[in-house]
Amino acid sequence: MSTKPLHHSEDRRKTPHGDTLFYKIMLGLNIAAWAGLVVVLILFHYARPEFITGVQQYWGVEGDNTWTMSYVDAMVVLLRICLVLSLISTVMRARRSRRKNDSFGINLIILTIIVATSLITLATTVS
């Protein structure tokens, strides 16, 4: 007769945190949020007004000096999604980090600051 218990009783504290499903979900959210920010930067390139140089003004070359609102709307939606993903990932990391050698997740804080600042800037400058 076996002396092993009927349920799996491996000590989860000895399992590397990179092997857990929780960590993989948290990492996936983090990567998705950063990828979303890259997409926002691409949208920003197409949404912003054209830069009209002095030479263009002198020659009378016309340029678009307004924001493309469809791109701006997409940027705002994507920035909000990035903000939610980064906040969820930050909360997950805070709940998971209990060991002294666990990382703090400064990249998520930087991402949250960048996204929040971008949302505020868009709300105050684009009309």
The mean of the pLDDT values for the chain is 82
Render 116-127 in DSSP notation, one character per residue.
Answer: HHHHHHHHHH--
Spans of all domains in the chain? 34-49+69-127
Each residue of 30-50: pLDDT tens digit? Answer: 999 999 999 999 999 998 887
Residue 98, pLDDT above cutoff 90: no
Predicted pLDDT of residue 59: 75
Q: Which comes out higher in pLDDT, residue 72 or 105? A: 72
> Does residue 122 contact residue 75 with C-beta atoms inside 8 Å?
yes
Residue matched to tokens 């926002």:
40
pTM here is 0.75
Residue 110 confidence (pLDDT):
94
The length of the chain is 127
